[in-house]
Structure 1
């Protein structure tokens, strides 16, 4: 059974997603019910909702919306990675409010579509350091060339668990192994960073990728981080750009067919349960 650490629900009747105007294939509703129906069929038993970069004034409304979905009978949602703005003076107060909400397991600030200097400001870095001593993780979504910026953030708070999304966002379609390969090995030297095996089907050629296309990128990630520091994510509905949820789960099973049962159990659920303290 699988714990999915990266589900996005898109509900344009409830929230605004400015970035979707630039991604027509995703610019519609993707409901929790549609996800859950397919997820149960492929062995997903629980999921963490990942923030969807809603309009800034709706960040807390998104968390409340996810909370409503989590309260549905037999909901798969058992936690949320909430959006945040570490570059904001209001971050400290926001952090304090989230500490009262057990649904929130961590935070993410999307960086791969933002200027590099965003994460380099004194305010941003000081606010990341505020996560020290809390239960919260921080997801890093950065381009390969930005991985040194991510390393700088992880070094600021060595007791905070960071999660590197999407195998470091490699350009699989362009076969750009460097600087991705070298930077992945370097960031993996930080014991407070784990890697998320997710997203890769969206970075490959949607018409021609196969399991063997993905294998070197996924295997390098696992080899760098080791079996105790990898988790699995669907990145639904972004994975629909590369075949969909069932296709990605099937590809995952082939990719890791040669791993031991213990190794697969860590990747599919055990590490996620440990990192986020998940009860089920």
Structure 2
């Protein structure tokens, strides 16, 4: 069965640019490049990946596109552009000339929930569909009510929620996260990534059982037709190896039909990102 990793990052470490990497994550204070990831993908029989922005600059987006050109296993790029810019349609038209770019993301978890409802940002989101681009949503549970308003205003825009919106796994808390996520799951244009969960658990001693209630909720809300596997490498590394997270996901879905497993591990990514 082919596997596509829909969420990983590359960077050349810079203390100022990557100030979010705190002392607890000191293992991430180095470069992470295609040459580091490719052997891991090969060992785990992962056919390719989606490289997702980590910096809020077009310069990084251009760099990721260069990496994708040089490394065919990078199947697509989720980049960054200033969605609030007055010339956003010009910028999207520019990026449309690069086949590797599939969509965009802004680090909304670092913004006030109201940020995404600003007229300028809403205008940028509304422009994405015109150019066939997806939008990756990086938020915390507290952002979900505002996100619902954004989604309601863009019913035809393909959205994917990264990391299940980062539920409080280490505190074994599921509400109001589950209720708010279910409201979003009612929209068929909203997908969800099974990624980043180990980082939200207790890094030292999480178990597959800790993940089960949240994976159960994801399946209940999105079905197997709108879920995608993602590693969140290398951000996952303080909490989990690549192998352990992939095995956790595979073990959970092992009782599902081969067709459902293929959807989550492969086919949904192809459909969503037009691979």
TM-score, normalization: structure 2? 0.93
Q: Residue 83 and residue 21 in structure 1: after superposition, are their counterparts in 2 closer, same or farther (change >3 A)?
A: farther
What do residues 71-90 of structure 1 show as CA deviations (whole Å, max 9, x unaligned)?
Answer: 236x3101100013223334
Are residue 169 (structure 1) and residue 155 (structure 2) matched? no
CA–CA distance in 2 between the matches of 1:88 and 1:28? 32
Residues matched between the structures, number? 272
CA–CA distance in 2 between the matches of 1:122 and 1:142? 19
Please give the residue correspondences for 1:27-106 in structure 2 after superposition, counting only pairs within 5 Å.
27-52=29-54, 54=55, 56=56, 59-72=57-70, 75-106=72-103
Are residue 193 (structure 1) and residue 190 (structure 2) matched? yes
CA–CA distance in 1 between the matches of 2:96 and 2:212? 39
Where in structure 2 are there 5+ consecutive unaligned residues? none
Where in structure 1 are there 5+ consecutive unaligned residues? none
CA–CA distance in 2 between the matches of 1:178 and 1:154? 21
Please give the residue correspondences for 1:121-200 in structure 2 after superposition, counting only pairs within 5 Å.
121-200=118-197
State the SS of the aligned residue for 1:117: helix
Which of 192, 204, 207 in structure 1 is aligned with 2:204?
Answer: 207
TM-aligned CA deviation for residue 64 of structure 1: 2.4
Q: Residue 19 and residue 208 in structure 1: after superposition, are their counterparts in 2 closer, same or farther (change >3 A)?
A: closer
CA–CA distance in 2 between the matches of 1:84 and 1:142? 18
State the SS of the aligned residue for 2:171: coil
CA–CA distance in 2 between the matches of 1:3 and 1:81? 15
State the SS of the aligned residue for 2:178: helix
Contact map agreement 2:105 2:136 (CA 8 A) in 1 = yes
What do residues 84-123 of structure 1 show as CA deviations (whole Å, max 9, x unaligned)?
Answer: 3223334333222112221110000111121222112111
- In structure 2, the partner of 1:266 is 263
